[in-house]
């Protein structure tokens, strides 16, 4: 989907998937992460140049054609890198991890199958429950303050633990339980305020279509291995599963 929107040849997906996986791995040595990031920027810079020469029906071509004032190649490359990384890593992992969570909670999955009208609510609950962005973006305190009994001096860097915020017992009843009937939660999975994810509505549509089609076409879908054997992406900045072995009749 993100390849189509940006005008990236789908056959090139392995090139950027490998680089983003390296760049998002917290255990990767810094120099290797920098090389992966540089390779991704070079890949997108090449795409921007190609779109200037031969525009198409895609976001980059539209930005080149219609942005006022015009965007530089560097600006377009920055935009493309952010959209490409955010558009495939997060949604792909949310679909896989959401499927895993529902397969681990058969009563919730049965409720969803019994009442498809719950799907939109279930998506919001999965976003809250899973919070695949393990660490939120950093912020700098503009003034000294105390939060949760911790003194934060002006100028200090603050990083939000998104999963903790989305399971705050002061905001949610029984926050560690997946409940597709939970009234739509006010979660932080897409950020907050002016920093909210600009692709959040696309992500919701992709989850709605992906999960609906998956469980409709494969009504007896189930895990092929015990849940504890599913390899989790604990070392990645974007949480998920490395693989999800499933089976069906």
Quote the CA–CA distance of 114 and 137 in Å, as a whole number. 38
| First and final C-alpha spacing in the chain | 29
Domain range holding 79?
Answer: 2-104+218-247
Quote the CA–CA distance of 170 and 185 in Å, as a whole number. 13
* Count of domains for the chain: 1
Tens of pLDDT, residues 79-100: 998 888 788 888 999 999 999 9
Is 200 part of a structural domain of the chain? no
* Residue 174 Ramachandran class (φ > 0 left, ψ -120 to 50 alpha, else beta): left
Cβ(111)–Cβ(118) under 8 Å? yes
Tens of pLDDT, residues 120-179: 999 999 999 999 887 777 889 999 999 889 999 999 999 888 899 999 999 999 999 999
**Average pLDDT rounded to a whole number, residues 100-117:** 95
Is 67 part of a structural domain of the chain? yes
Tens of pLDDT, residues 205-240: 999 999 999 999 999 999 999 999 999 998 888 899
Cβ(93)–Cβ(53) under 8 Å? no
Quote the CA–CA distance of 181 and 108 in Å, as a whole number. 9
**Average pLDDT rounded to a whole number, residues 187-197:** 86
Is 126 part of a structural domain of the chain? no
Is 52 part of a structural domain of the chain? yes
Is 222 part of a structural domain of the chain? yes
- CATH number for the domain that contains residue 68: 1.10.630.10
Angle made by CA atoms 102, 5, 209, in degrees to the nearest 5: 25
Is 150 part of a structural domain of the chain? no
Tens of pLDDT, residues 26-83: 888 999 989 988 998 998 999 999 999 999 999 999 999 999 999 999 999 999 988 8
Residue 104 pLDDT = 97
Q: Residue 216's CB: how many other CB atoms inside 10 A?
A: 10
Quote the CA–CA distance of 187 and 94 in Å, as a whole number. 15
Is 167 part of a structural domain of the chain? no
Helix (H, G, I), strand (E, B) or coil at 28: coil
**Average pLDDT rounded to a whole number, residues 102-121:** 95
Is 179 part of a structural domain of the chain? no
Single pTM value for the model: 0.88
């Amino acid at each position: 989907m993100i390849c189509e929107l940006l005008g990236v040849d789908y056959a090139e997906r392995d090139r950027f998937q490998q680089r983003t996986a390296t760049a998002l791995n917290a255990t990767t040595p810094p120099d290797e992460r920098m090389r992966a990031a540089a390779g991704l920027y070079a890949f997108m810079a090449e795409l921007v140049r190609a779109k200037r020469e031969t525009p198409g029906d895609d976001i980059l071509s539209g930005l080149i054609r219609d942005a006022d004032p015009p965007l530089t190649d560097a600006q377009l490359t920055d935009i493309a890198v952010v959209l490409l990384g955010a558009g495939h890593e997060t949604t792909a992992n949310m679909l896989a991890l959401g499927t895993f969570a529902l397969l681990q909670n058969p009563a919730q999955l049965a409720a969803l199958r019994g009442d498809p009208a719950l799907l939109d609510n279930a998506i919001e609950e999965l976003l809250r429950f899973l919070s695949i962005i393990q660490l939120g973006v950093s912020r700098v305190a503009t003034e000294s303050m105390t939060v949760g009994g911790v003194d934060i001096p002006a100028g200090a860097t603050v990083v939000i633990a998104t999963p903790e915020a989305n399971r705050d017992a002061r905001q949610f009843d029984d926050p560690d339980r997946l409940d597709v009937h939970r009234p739509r939660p006010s979660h932080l999975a897409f950020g907050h305020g002016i920093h909210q994810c600009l692709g959040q509505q696309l992500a919701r549509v992709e989850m709605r279509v992906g999960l609906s089609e998956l469980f409709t076409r494969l009504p007896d879908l189930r895990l092929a291995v015990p849940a504890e054997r599913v390899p989790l992406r604990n070392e990645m900045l974007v949480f998920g599963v490395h693989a999800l072995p499933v089976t069906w009749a």
